[in-house]
Amino acid sequence: MSRPLKLSRRTILRGAGVAMGLPMLECMADDQAAETPPSRFGMFYFGTGMNMRQFEPEDEGPDFKLSRILQPLERHRGQFTVLSNVFLNHGGGHDGAYPFATSIARGEKQQISPDQIVAQQHGKATRYPSLQLSVERGTAFGSQALATTSWNEQGIPLAAENDPKVLFDRLFRPDSEQQKVNRAHEFRQRGSVLDLVMEQAGGMQKRMSQVDRQQLDQYFNSVREMERQLDRDVAWSDRPKPDPDLKDPKRFEKSITDKQPDFRYDTYAKLMYDLIALAFQTDSSRVVSYVVRRELSGGVYPEFGVSKGYHSLSHHGNDPRNLEELAKVDTIYMKHWAYFLDRLRSIREGDGTLLDHTVLGFSSGMGIGHSKNRLPTVLSGGERLGVRHRGHVRLSTPTPLSSLWQTMVHCCGVPTGDAFQDSPGVIDDLV
């Protein structure tokens, strides 16, 4: 079903009047042609690799034969490209979630991740510059099982949210009248609190050593970001949240996290992918990162009917049962990926579909047997953004994962400059 995807310039001028704060003006200026659907960017992490023996296709080209794990994607042939010969320099082993998006090893100072680079440009136009989703809340920074792959400009990990209800409320739950009155007070109070704590932090900083100051800088940056968010909130406050027009809005009324005893992954996965599709569709955000499976921990649920945890299975020791169960689990994840592509393709946008205006990349921090090459890497969507899909491409030279990100950033119309992480450049085969 077709819905207005993005408020056109006219709609805003008609409806918003006073609400047009500064951020709106900026965003309109960014989009030269407001009628052209915007570019969307999605980065997905499947921790602990996959059973690459059943993932890598044997032949190449658009008519390649889908491997067992990729079989669920058959109906999307032509909408995605499987990339072989991709490596992650500091990947392999279980620290791979750290360099995944940035090419920076665990333990080193991080840098901005590609989703945030895109968000810097495209995020100004939306209620949420970017969304971080994950099976686990927070960042889990320090542990191998990182809960996020997004890093801000200061190299601080950005916390992810794992509960579809929380995300739904944030994106779509309309405010009641009382909430609107309260909100005005809340804006004022929040502004005062932020001013006040900023001043206190300033006072503290004067009497601090250099290293302590660096630590406190995180506080400053975070409060500044909250101030920017407040500005955005004020600017957006008079605009109603979009109505996602759901057939069954009840689905999002209950908190669901994998800590609950009655957790079903199938329900959860679909809710999370639906939310991304809805966020894109309603232009609530254009940038998403999602840790679908964490490194090392979790990844397998009772309904999968396998005998061990994902990490235990990945130490397959060539036991055919382990390899079989790994492939079984990976296939389940790919079924959900196919579901996600279904959702994006079902939404008309401009003269194509939402998927055509969305570049999605997924991979892992390792391949099989904790290797740092042979990563399960797939680029999906983005035909209207200049992506040319080729079925299965075995790149002629070993190519860092960062080249995939560079290609995706490039397709979103964001200049990547000469030096993008450790990438030698945009992958020519794909554009």
Partner 1 sequence: MTCAVGWAVGIVALVWAVGTQADEPPATAPVAERPVAEFLTTHCLECHRGEEAESDFRIDHLNDDFADRRAAAAWIEIRDRVNRGEMPPDDKPQPTADQIRMLSGWITDRLRQAEQAGLSRGGRAVLRRLNRQEYTNTIRDLLKMEFLPGESPRDMLPPDGTVEGFRTVSVGLMIDPSLMQTYYEVARLVAEKAIVDGPPEFPTKTLRMEFEEIQTNRAIDYLCDKPGFECKEDHIEIIDGQTRSFGRLHYGDHRTATPTLGKYRVSVRAAARPGPDGKPVRMSVRQQHPQASRQLVMDVQVDASPQQPEVYTVIVPRDGLGKEWNLQPVDEIAMTNGNPTYQVYANRKIRDYGNEGDFTNAIRYRGRMQLEGGHEQTIIRPDRIDTEKLPMLWLDWIEIEGPLYEQWPPKSHQLLLGETTPTSLTNGQLTEIFTALMNRAYRRPVADDDVKPIVNLVRQELDHGIALENAVRAGLTAVLTSPRFLYLAEPSDGVQPRSLDDWEIASRLSYLLWSSMPDEQLFELAAAGKLQDPQVRLQQVDRMIADPKIEGFVNGFAAQWLRTETFRNFQPDDRQYPDYDDKLGEAMVSESLEFFREVLKHDLALSNFIDSGFAMLNERLAKHYGIEGVQGDQFRRVPLPDDSHRGGLLAHAGVLMAGSDGNRTKPVSRAVYVREVLFNDPPDPPPPNVGEIEPNIKGKNLTVRERLIQHQEIESCAACHRTLDPYGLALENFDVIGAWREQQTGEGFRARKAPPIDASGKLPDGSTFDGFEQFRERLLAQQQRFHRGLTEKMMVYALGRPLEPGDRIRVDAISDALDDDSATLRTMIKQIVSSPQFLTK
Q: What is the contact surface with partner 1 in residues (CB under 8 A)? A: 92-93, 105, 107-108, 132, 136-143, 147, 152, 156-159, 185, 188-190, 192-193, 196-197, 199-201, 204, 207-212, 215-216, 218-219, 221-223, 225-226, 229, 260-261, 297, 307-309, 312, 315-319, 322, 369-372
- Residue with the two structure tokens 């966020």: 279
Beta carbon nearer to partner 1, 218 or 346: 218
Beta carbon nearer to partner 1, 31 or 225: 225
Q: Are strands 358-363 and 377-380 parallel, antiparallel or unpaired?
A: antiparallel
CB of 109 to partner 1, least distance (A): 10
Close Cβ partners of 384 (under 8 Å, ≥ 6 residues apart) = 37, 350, 352, 356, 357
Residue 352 dihedral angles phi and psi, to the nearest 5°: -140, -145
Beta carbon nearer to partner 1, 36 or 214: 214
Cα 68 to the chain's mean position, in Å? 26
Beta carbon nearer to partner 1, 26 or 199: 199
Q: CA 279, 390, 372 angle in degrees (round to 5)? A: 80
CB of 203 to partner 1, least distance (A): 8
CB of 49 to partner 1, least distance (A): 12
DSSP-assigned states of every residue in 160-187: BB--HHHHHHHHHPPPPHHHHHHHHHHH
CB 381 within 8 A of CB 355: yes
Beta carbon nearer to partner 1, 138 or 413: 138
Task: Please name every residue paired with 42 in a beta bridge, in sequence order, or none if there are none.
Answer: 288, 360
Beta carbon nearer to partner 1, 175 or 245: 175
DSSP-assigned states of every residue in 182-217: HHHHHHHHHHHHHHHHHHHHHHHHHT--HHHHHHHH
Beta carbon nearer to partner 1, 242 or 298: 298
| Separation between Cα atoms, residue 8 and residue 84, nearest integer Å | 40
Beta carbon nearer to partner 1, 141 or 304: 141
Beta carbon nearer to partner 1, 213 or 388: 213
Burial of 371 (0-12, 13-18, 19+ CB in 10 A): middle
Q: Are strands 287-293 and 80-87 parallel, antiparallel or unpaired?
A: unpaired
CB of 209 to partner 1, least distance (A): 3
CB of 390 to partner 1, least distance (A): 30
Please name the amino acid found at residue 146. Answer: L
Residue 202 dihedral angles phi and psi, to the nearest 5°: -60, -45
Residues belonging to the chain = 431
- Residue with the two structure tokens 């042939």: 77
CB of 105 to partner 1, least distance (A): 7
CB of 196 to partner 1, least distance (A): 5
Q: Are strands 287-293 and 131-134 parallel, antiparallel or unpaired?
A: parallel
CB of 335 to partner 1, least distance (A): 24
CB of 351 to partner 1, least distance (A): 37
Beta carbon nearer to partner 1, 22 or 193: 193
CB of 261 to partner 1, least distance (A): 6
Nearest CA among 3, 37, 5, 1 for reference residue 356: 37
Structure tokens at 8: 């056109």
